[in-house]
């Protein structure tokens, strides 16, 4: 499962730009080796206040530019990201741990440019609401002002862009706070953007929890965008209440998949595997629990186990790796605990189920768990790691009910050779997105968001632009 060919890091230029001296910064480790990559600045609440003041001062001039001019600037910024995509990918691979290849760090770096371009090119024209002789009402979209963005550690640069690009496109300025675990990736992509943006339009505040809490409650913000846990999302709702900042919350997901009888297992196996194990399972919209009909149960378990055993795992900078480490010790401990609890409850660990210490401290082998059911933590909680519980069902009504029993509803999927049957099941699943014979695939033109405990508000496409705008009706 290991490879030894390691890519030479090409990050010195960009790292030199974003890092600070050891005496004044915080050491950021390589997720696979623990070696220090560089030192991130340690910003304070005072720095946050100054950034928001600068963003508020810069916002009127930025908003005064035409949509076409802001789009031209964003296209130049996307060109900059593409020109330095390898440097950015190397930073992501080392800091976050995802492999360079496949749906990994190079994919993330390329996605940053793609999402900036899509935000720049998306048209949001005024909508005619009512028209009659002598009167006309139109719905326009104006900038909100200053957007505060708080990002996660699992797709740090890409999710930061999901928040930043549409906000800038609509004439807002942005102050963004990255995860303490992955600040370098966000500092890097922001540095590339800022080579083309006016001063104050985009600022990264690289601080601790106190800075995040102050941002969520700051009276100088008009919008808060957050991607992370449901528990933190609830605290942000409470903190933002006093100034009624608009919110977009993309929170956790315990995504369910349902495999219907008659499905061609070999035909879906690869899509199914990567819907589960993309980014070593550390994706909000990854498949977290899989319900499989009796008639296919053994075949699906075997297919997933074979792929888990043959998919190479190793450091992110290893060109042969397809799966990387868990990004943090905390997440490693969560995954280990949930697997051990499942084992103690009588579940069968088909493959994996243990760390891979020979690869590094935070590596956990891709794991398939069978003969498990609801009520066990591995099924009921979001594991956020390279583990899939496979649950047997015989009655479709029961499977749908169990899939919907979660307090979360980010994504779900239905797997079937009969698309019409799959669509009928998809319509009954309580999730913001339901995929057919795929899971977790995203498109910058297609809105994305959750229901229930997975948050509210939409990102991407026209709906994403509307979410960072103030609707204004003009009647004449």
Domain positions in the chain are 12-251+454-475, 255-436
Question: Given pLDDT bands bounded at 50, 70 and 90, which one contains residue 2?
Answer: very low
DSSP 445-470: TS-B--EETTEE--BSHHHHHHHTEE
**12-251+454-475 carries CATH number 3.40.605.10:** yes
pTM, two decimal places: 0.95
Mean pLDDT for all residues in the chain: 96
pLDDT at 383: 97
Give the other-Cβ count within 10 Å of 161's Cβ.
29
Cβ contacts of residue 355 below 8 Å, gap of 6+? 332, 336, 363, 364, 365
Q: Which helix (H) or strand (E) holds 15?
A: helix 12-18
Q: Tokens at residue 137, please?
A: 């009402």
Question: Given pLDDT bands bounded at 50, 70 and 90, which one contains residue 243?
Answer: confident
**pLDDT tens string 5-42:** 444 444 569 999 999 999 999 999 999 999 999 999 99
Strands across the sheet containing 202-204: 202-204, 173-177, 146-150, 223-227, 246-250, 455-456
pLDDT at 139: 98
Euclidean distance between the first and final Cα of the chain, in Å?
68
**DSSP H helices in 278-322:** 297-310
The single residue listed with the structure tokens 């499905």 is 263
Q: What's the average model confidence in pLDDT over 280-295?
A: 98
Q: What's the average model confidence in pLDDT over 258-275?
A: 98
Share of the chain above pLDDT 90, in %: 97
Q: What's the average model confidence in pLDDT over 189-195?
A: 98
Q: Tokens at residue 32, please?
A: 């696979």
For residue 314, give Cα distances in angstroms to 88, 93, 275, 326, 397. Answer: 19, 11, 19, 11, 41
Q: What's the average model confidence in pLDDT over 57-76?
A: 98
pLDDT at 242: 87
Q: Which helix (H) or strand (E) holds 342?
A: helix 329-344
Distance of alpha carbon 258 from alpha carbon 294, whole angstroms = 12
Residue 74 has pLDDT above 60, yes or no: yes
- φ, ψ (nearest 5 deg) of residue 122: -75, 130
Give the other-Cβ count within 10 Å of 121's Cβ.
13
- Please tell me the class of the 255-436 domain: alpha beta
pLDDT at 12: 60
Residues annotated catalytic, as ranges: 250, 284
Q: Tokens at residue 347, please?
A: 């579940």
Distance of alpha carbon 292 from alpha carbon 272, whole angstroms = 12
């Amino acid at each position: 499962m290991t490879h030894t060919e390691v890519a030479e890091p090409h990050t010195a230029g960009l790292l030199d730009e974003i890092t600070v001296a050891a005496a004044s910064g915080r050491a950021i480790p390589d997720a696979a080796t623990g070696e220090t990559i560089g030192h991130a600045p340690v910003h304070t609440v005072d720095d946050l206040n100054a950034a928001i003041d600068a963003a508020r001062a810069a916002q009127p001039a930025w908003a005064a530019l035409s949509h076409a001019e802001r789009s031209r600037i964003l296209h130049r910024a996307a060109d900059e990201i593409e020109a330095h995509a390898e440097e950015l990918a190397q930073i992501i691979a080392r800091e976050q741990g995802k492999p360079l290849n496949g749906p990994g760090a190079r994919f993330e770096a390329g996605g940053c440019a793609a999402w900036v371009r899509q935000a720049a090119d998306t048209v949001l024209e005024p909508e005619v609401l009512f028209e009659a002789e002598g009167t006309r009402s139109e719905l326009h979209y104006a900038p909100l002002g200053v957007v505060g963005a708080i990002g996660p550690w699992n797709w740090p640069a890409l999710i930061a862009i999901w928040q930043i690009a549409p906000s800038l496109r609509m004439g807002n300025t942005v102050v963004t706070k990255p995860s303490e675990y992955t600040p370098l990736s966000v500092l890097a992509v922001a540095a590339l953007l800022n080579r083309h943006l006016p001063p104050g339009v985009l600022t990264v505040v690289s601080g601790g929890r106190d800075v995040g809490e102050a941002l969520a409650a700051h009276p100088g913000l008009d919008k808060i965008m957050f991607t992370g846990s449901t528990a933190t999302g609830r605290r942000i709702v409470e903190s933002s209440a006093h100034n009624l900042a608009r919110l977009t919350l993309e929170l956790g997901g315990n995504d369910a998949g349902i495999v219907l009888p008659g499905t061609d297992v070999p035909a879906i196996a690869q899509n199914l595997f990567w819907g589960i194990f993309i980014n070593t399972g550390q994706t909000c919209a990854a498949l977290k629990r899989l319900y499989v009909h009796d008639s296919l149960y053994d075949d699906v378990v075997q297919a997933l186990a074979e792929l888990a055993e043959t998919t190479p795992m190793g450091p992110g900078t290893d060109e042969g790796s397809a799966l990387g480490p868990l990004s943090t010790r905390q997440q490693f401990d969560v995954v280990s605990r949930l697997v051990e609890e499942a084992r103690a409850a009588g579940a069968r660990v088909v493959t994996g189920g243990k760390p891979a210490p020979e690869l590094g401290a935070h590596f956990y082998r891709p794991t398939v768990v069978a003969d498990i059911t609801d009520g066990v933590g591995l099924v009921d909680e979001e594991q956020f790691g390279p583990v899939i519980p496979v649950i047997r069902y015989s009655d479709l009504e029961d499977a749908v009910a169990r899939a919907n029993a979660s307090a979360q509803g980010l994504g779900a999927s239905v797997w079937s050779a009969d698309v019409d049957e799959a669509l009928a099941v998809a319509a009954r699943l309580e999730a913001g997105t339901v995929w057919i014979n795929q899971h977790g695939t995203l498109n910058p033109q297609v809105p994305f968001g959750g229901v229930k405990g997975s948050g509210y508000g939409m990102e991407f496409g026209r709906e994403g632009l509307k979410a960072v705008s103030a609707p204004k009706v003009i009647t004449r």
